[in-house]
Amino acid sequence: MMETQTTAGSTQGSTPPVSQNNQKKESIEETLSKPFTPLDPDAITQKYDNDYQLGASFEADLTLRLLELIAATRVWANSRPNIETERHGNQLVDEIKGVQSAEAEQDRLRQRLLQFVQHIKSALAALTS
């Protein structure tokens, strides 16, 4: 009895009823018989126009915010105490001097390396001649 139910179930699942098959054919025929909707170029370009307008409003908003930030930074910088400005300036000068001394040291090391290479070249030339 179990085999009959299983077989009957699998048979029904594998083959659709005839009425469903006819409905599919009718829906395909109905679909094909319907006229195509005409192309609406405004519907296509409207999305891009909206994006363009949003981009322009975003740029305007960003420009306004950046201007406000620059103004706030300028006000903050002008309201700093003179001693703080001088201290910060001295720190920058010290950092610049540190970079300059490192560059000078690197230049001296480069010169010494060039001299070493010249000595090696002359020693090799003396050995080969």
In a domain, 81, yes or no: yes
Q: For residues 8 and 64, give the distance between their C-alpha atoms in angstroms, rounded to a whole number.
A: 74
Q: In this structure, what are the phi and psi dihedrals at residue 68, rounded to the nearest 5 degrees?
A: -65, -40
In a domain, 7, yes or no: no
The continuous run of DSSP H or E covering 116 comes out as: helix 82-128
In a domain, 59, yes or no: yes
In a domain, 41, yes or no: no
Q: For residues 67 and 54, give the distance between their C-alpha atoms in angstroms, rounded to a whole number.
A: 20
- pTM for the full model? 0.36
Per-residue pLDDT tens for 74-126? 998 888 788 888 899 999 999 999 999 999 999 999 999 999 999 999 999 99
In a domain, 37, yes or no: no
In a domain, 3, yes or no: no
- Count up the domains in the chain and report the number: 1
In a domain, 12, yes or no: no
Domain residues for 102?
48-128
Q: For residues 48 and 40, give the distance between their C-alpha atoms in angstroms, rounded to a whole number.
A: 14
Percentage of residues of the chain with pLDDT beyond 70? 80
User: And the tokens for 64?
Assistant: 């306004």
In a domain, 100, yes or no: yes
